[in-house]
Structure formats: C-alpha cells, structure tokens
Structure 1
Amino acid sequence: MVMRDDILHLFYPCVCPGCGSQLYADAEGICPECISAFDAFGDADASGYAIMELFRRNYPDDTLSGKAWALYRFHKNDRLQRVIHAMKYEGVSSLGKVFGRFLGEMIAGCGGDDLYSCVVPVPLHRLKVFDRTYNQSEIIARSVASVLRKDFRNDLVVRKKYTRSQAGLSLQERLRNVRDAFEPSGRAVPKSILLVDDVLTTGATVSAVKNALESEGAEHISLATIALAG
C-alpha cells in the first residue's frame, strides 16, 4: 500500500492548499511551514477567554455554560483562510482530521477532556452535505472524539432549514439567517456536551445549536473550533 501511494504521488503530486508547495508523500494535506505560519493562540486558556468574551459581548444573556478552545486566530486572505476554504469547498476533507487531532490534543493537554460525555458537530443541511459530500465539522468532531476517547454524536440535533452562507453578514443578519434553523432530533440529550465547529465568527450558528440542545436538557455545553474570527 505504501509503495502504491508513493508511485501515485510521483505522478500526481499533492500541493499544500495554504502556499502551493509540493507535499511529501507522508504529509497530511498541509505543509509544516503553513502550520507554523498560522496565528496560533499562546495557550488553551487564552483561546477560551477570547471566545467567552465574544459570547459575553454578543449574547450577554446567553453565554456558554462550559469551556471553550480555539487553535488559531482567523485573518482574511491568509494561509489559514485558504486551507479552511480547501477543507470546506474543495474536497480536502483530510484536513478536518488533522485539525481535529490538533484540537483534541489541545483539550487533553489542559485537562478539558473530563468536562463532557460526548462530542457533537454543528450540523449542515442535507442539501449542503449532498453538494459537498461531507460535513467538515463532522470530520473535525470525529477526530476530536477519537483523540479524547469520547462518544461521537451526530444524531442529537438536525438542521431543518436551508440557509445561505453566513459569510459577509452582520450579527443581526446572521441571527435572522439561523433563526429556527435547528431542532432537536428527539433522542435523549446528555447533560454535558462538547460542540465542534470549523470557524467561529459571531457565534450565531453555535448559539442556535446550543439553544436547541439546551431545550432538551443539556446543561453544560463547551465549544471547540479551529479558528476564531470574531
């Protein structure tokens, strides 16, 4: 299998979506130089504080009840944006596994793996899943759950309304866009949950999913995301 992959890589070389450089056969879809160039948070607590501040600012009466983690700060037109775009829209789903592993290792490293009983991805509408062939947040969440040895649950909340992209919308426009977009599936919801999304901008989508889970009994919801843009 390894020899076959090496031969395929020789004739069909892979390139890093962040910088365009050729990747070695054993690379995971992104080069080490790009990973080093991302604007990483200094530590897990710093990322959590930044996320909590965003929720306190945008939703003073509806903040997160658990903890929060982000790997990077998101900036427009940088390498990370190109990499995330490739993961979401260009079929490079393997990047979700890589980022999920990074997130899982961050959470485990600060003792956050005992704060919840399962890992839940932010759901996509079925038409978007059909178009992309996968939900990138689900791939990230599966990888996080694997690292932390927690149950992966994608059956607790459903995206019932097809919505346009949140990109470029104001906070109020985003809130209107996702209003009534999610509903509980009817299955029993655990008390403590780790919610996973790819990028956090205003928190409108995460807040809507969180409220759907809380309506069915979730009491402590933590959040993990690749990047914080807000």
Structure 2
Amino acid sequence: MEPLLGKKLGYVVGAVTDILLPRTCAVCGARLDTEEAYLCRECMSDIPFTYNWGRKYHAIADRLNLIIQQDLHEYEPYSFVSNLFFYNEDNGYRHICHRLKYQGDIRIGRFFSRELGKRLKDSPLYRDIDLVIPVPLHWTRKWDRGYNQAAIIGREIARVLNAGYMPDFLVRKKKTASQTTLDLEQKKANVSDAFSVSEKAWKIFAPETGPKTLPGHVLITDDVFTSGATTAACRRVLRTVFPPEVRISVATLAAVEEE
C-alpha cells in the first residue's frame, strides 16, 4: 500500500470511529476532532504548565527539600522537582490524572508522560538522569488496578531520556491509607516505613557488594505531587543504597499548588 493511501485510509477509519464512538476532551468534555488527541485545542493551549523543569529552586521543590532537611545527618544535594502541570480540584486538568489512575486510560498517561520527558530532556537539570524509579504500589492495589500509574509515567520518561528503568527497585511493604484528607505530619507518619529496597535491587546496588559505577542522577516518578511526604519516604530508602553523591530528583505529571 502506498504511504499516502495508507495515511488517507487511516484518517477515514479514525473519522468513522469518532462518529460511532465519539471521543471527548479529558478536561472540558467537548467532542474531539479527528486530529485532536485527549484534549481539545482550547484546553491543550490552556494547560497550566509549571515550567519548573528549568528551575532549580521553586515552591514545590522546597516542600520536598524541607522534609529532607528535617532528618538530615550528612551532606545532601538539593533535590530537583519537576511537574508538567498544576493540579487542583477547581480545574479540569485533574481529570488527566484521574483517567490514568482510576479509569484505566494508560494511553493518556503515556502521552503526557512523553510531554514531560521531552521537557526534562531539554533541561540541563535533568538530561543527565541515568536511572528512573517509580513510586511502588502495594501489591493488592496493583492487582486490583492492573498496573502502577507511577510506573507508566516512569517508563515513558526513561524512554525519552534514554535512561535506565527499574520498576521493581522499591517495594511497598504495607498498604497505606489514602493521603487525601491527612495533614503533613499525618502523611509523613502514614508512609513511614512503607517502602523498602527490593531483594533484586539490593543484590545489584548494596553498598558492600554493589557495582563500581553507580548512577549519577536518579529520578523518582509519580502521578501527583502534593506534600512531598511519599517521595521523601522513597528517597530516604534509596539513600540506603545510594551515597549522597548520587542526586535523587522527582518528576510527576501534576502538582498541587497549595496544601
């Protein structure tokens, strides 16, 4: 089949599919045109980007680093934090994360994860990342959902950055309660001792038997950044295998502007 003919045929099939099974914008619910993917043109142009992938210091990163400083015992490099867009209950962009997390829409998660990955690749702060590690789900939640949304995000970012990817580096040892209604101290207590390094990762990276060449920059991925309690807990566990010279940063699709 000629390439042009195949392209036209694909367009026709897409148009017919949109008539029979109309797609809607994840943000506003408007019907999508054939050329539109996941968001309508208006919502795509109005995405509340954080632009913090190009900044070392900003309010969201300060949340995480404040928690880190509270139990600091030795030198610790400042953690970079990057998020694609702002998330709150008053804007429809929260539906992007909801569709990925609760509605099984893995494709929308991959799409926006690649968008975040492209921005990280263009940033001097993140382009040297050589290992991506997602926040783990407890096995019961993963079994119920069928996937880990943080792993979907991490895999796509790792592909864009051409970085290593270990979805099973961390293990969630206990099933924690929802963090939605908890304050910061309650969140920290909720995820305290919730994570551990997997046996597989420990065999590879244990300080006494680990490789001579360690990653220089590790990235933790998750869907939404709120207080920073969860990623700080993961980061604390990663420090049991990675010395302070290894920078550990965080990337999420969305970030809550204020607690």
| TM-score under structure 1 length normalisation | 0.89
Is 1:122 aligned to 2:135, yes or no? yes
Structure 2 residue 30 is matched with structure 1 residue 21: yes
- Tell me which residue corresponds to 1:12: 21
Which stretches in structure 1 are left out of the alignment for 5+ residues?
none
Q: Equivalent pairs: percent with the same residue? A: 30
Listed one character per residue, the Cα deviations across residues 58-86 of structure 1 (whole Å, up to 9, x for unaligned) are 44335764422122222222111122112
Which residue identity lines up with residue 35 of structure 1 in the other structure?
M
1:55 CA displacement: 2.2
1:112 alignment partner, SS class: coil
Partner of 1:197: 222
What's the CA shift string for 1:179-205, capped at 9, x where partnerless?
111100132244431111111111111
CA distance in 1, matches of 2:56, 2:226: 13
Aligned equivalent of 1:102: 115
1:177 aligns with 2:190: yes
Paired residue total:
230
Q: Report the Cα distance in structure 2 between the residues aligned to 1:132 and 1:31, rounded to whole angstroms.
A: 28
Match of 2:249 in 1: 222
Tell whether the 8 Å contact from 1:96 to 1:137 is kept in structure 2 after alignment.
Answer: no
The aligned counterpart of 1:212 is: 237
**What is the rounded CA distance, in whole Å, between the counterparts of 1:208 and 1:91 in structure 2?**
26
Instruction: Report the 3-state secondary structure (helix = DSSP H, G, I; strand = E; otherwise coil) of the residue aligned with 2:251.
Output: strand
Q: Does 1:38 align with 2:42?
A: no
Deviation at 1:50, TM superposition (A): 2.5
Q: Which has the larger displacement, 58-67 or 154-163?
A: 58-67
Give, in whole Å, the separation in 1 of the partners of 2:137 and 2:21: 32
RMSD, aligned CA: 2.3
Cα distance change of structure 1 residues 124 and 75 upon mapping to structure 2, 3 Å threshold: same
- Contact kept in structure 2, 1:28 and 1:94, CA below 8 Å: no
Equivalent residue runs for 1:15-94 within 5 Å = 15-42=24-51, 44-46=53-55, 49-61=58-70, 62=72, 65-94=78-107
Partner amino acid, structure 2, of 1:20: G
Q: Is contact 1:51–1:68 with CA below 8 Å preserved after alignment?
A: yes
Give the alignment of 1:134-153 within 5 angstroms: 134-153=147-166
Give the drift of 1:175. Answer: 1.1
